Structure formats: C-alpha cells, structure tokens
C-alpha cells in the first residue's frame, strides 16, 4: 500500500509550539490554510480562533504586515493566527504540538477555547506538558523517559497512575 504525500498533507493540520508566520499580512498568514479562501472565510476563521479582537486593533486590520515570523504579535496572538489557519484548512487530522506552552494565563485561556472548537469532529493528537491541554481527551498516553507507562482518560489516570496524579497535583495546586 502506498500513501500519496500530497493527499496526506491535505488532510493534516498542525498547530506547533512556534508557529511559522510569513513576512506578509494577517490575511495571507491565515489563508495559508486554504489559499482559495475569500475574505469572509478568513474573517470567520479568525473569529473562531478568538483572534478577531486583536486583528481589528491592528493599524490595517487584516492588511496589517506582521513582520518576520510575526514579530509584531505576542506569542498568544501568533498561536491564534496558527489556529485560524488550521480552522480554515478544516483537516480531518489535527496535530497540536505544545500549542499553549509559552502563553500567559489570559492568552492560554483564549487559545484553549479556540482549540476546543477546532478539535470538534476530528482526530486530534496532542503533545503537551500542560495537563490542562489534555484533560478532556478521550485517551491520554503517559510517557516517562521514552516509555509508555499508562493510558486512559484523565479520571482513569488519576485513579490508576501515581505519576499522573502527582503531575496533576503539581500543575493544578500551585
């Protein structure tokens, strides 16, 4: 059996820890998810990603130039542009690689809300150290020192894994 790499890439959306943004405007950066998208589709994706508020405050809105790698945006804003791109792409498989790791609490809350919307109705693989990102997953794989040590739902792992329970206590009680 062979797999067409173009077909595979068409069906996978990625929101990485450090999203790649282009030295272009907001519209171009979001429309990378679907180059054929119109202005209304781009705006709708930005709204779903909780990015519309900050985009509207930029000097030229969707036409605002972001600078190299989106240097004019905060980490949370760059993440929400990447999420809007993935929303516009509407992939059947979504990969979230530490998508909230470098965010302040306010930005993380907005990004988490956007990710919840994005994950609905699709297979999502989440790589995360922050347990708040994975708590609602159908299946969590706990890896320690490169080995799979436990798997289950958040509630199952709280009851069955001392390591998972201690990680939760560290993250949620401090």
Percent of the chain with pLDDT over 70: 98
- Decide if 70 is inside a domain: yes
Mean pLDDT, 10 residues at a time, the chain of 174 residues: 86 90 95 95 93 94 91 88 92 88 73 79 88 86 94 95 92 77
- Decide if 168 is inside a domain: yes
Give me the domain span that covers residue 21: 5-128
Q: Are strands 140-144 and 147-152 parallel, antiparallel or unpaired?
A: antiparallel
Q: For 97-110, how does the pLDDT look when each residue is reduced to its tens digit (9 = 90+)?
A: 987 776 777 777 77
Do 15 and 48 share a structural domain?
Answer: yes
Do 90 and 59 share a structural domain?
Answer: yes
CB atoms within 10 A of CB 141: 14
Q: What is the DSSP string of 124-156?
A: EEEE-S-GGGTTT-S-EEEEETTEEEEEE-HHH
In angstroms, rounded to a whole number, what is the distance separating the alpha carbons of residues 167 and 165?
5
pTM: predicted TM-score of the whole model, two decimal places: 0.83
């Amino acid at each position: 059996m062979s797999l067409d790499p173009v077909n595979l890439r068409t069906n996978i959306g990625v929101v990485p820890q450090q999203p790649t943004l282009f030295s272009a405007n907001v519209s171009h950066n979001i429309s990378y998810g679907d180059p054929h998208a119109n202005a209304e589709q781009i705006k709708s994706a930005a709204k779903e990603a909780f990015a519309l508020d900050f985009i509207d405050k930029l000097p030229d809105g969707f036409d605002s130039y972001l600078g190299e790698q989106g240097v004019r945006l905060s980490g949370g804003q760059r993440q929400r542009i990447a999420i809007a791109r993935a929303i516009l792409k509407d992939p059947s498989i979504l990969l979230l690689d530490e998508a909230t790791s470098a965010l302040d609490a306010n930005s993380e809350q907005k990004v988490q809300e956007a990710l919840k919307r994005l994950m609905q109705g699709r297979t999502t693989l989440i790589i995360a150290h922050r347990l708040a990102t994975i708590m609602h997953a159908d299946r969590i794989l706990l890896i320690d020192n490169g080995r799979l040590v436990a798997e289950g739902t958040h509630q199952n792992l709280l009851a069955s894994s001392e390591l998972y329970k201690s990680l939760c206590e560290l993250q949620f009680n401090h």
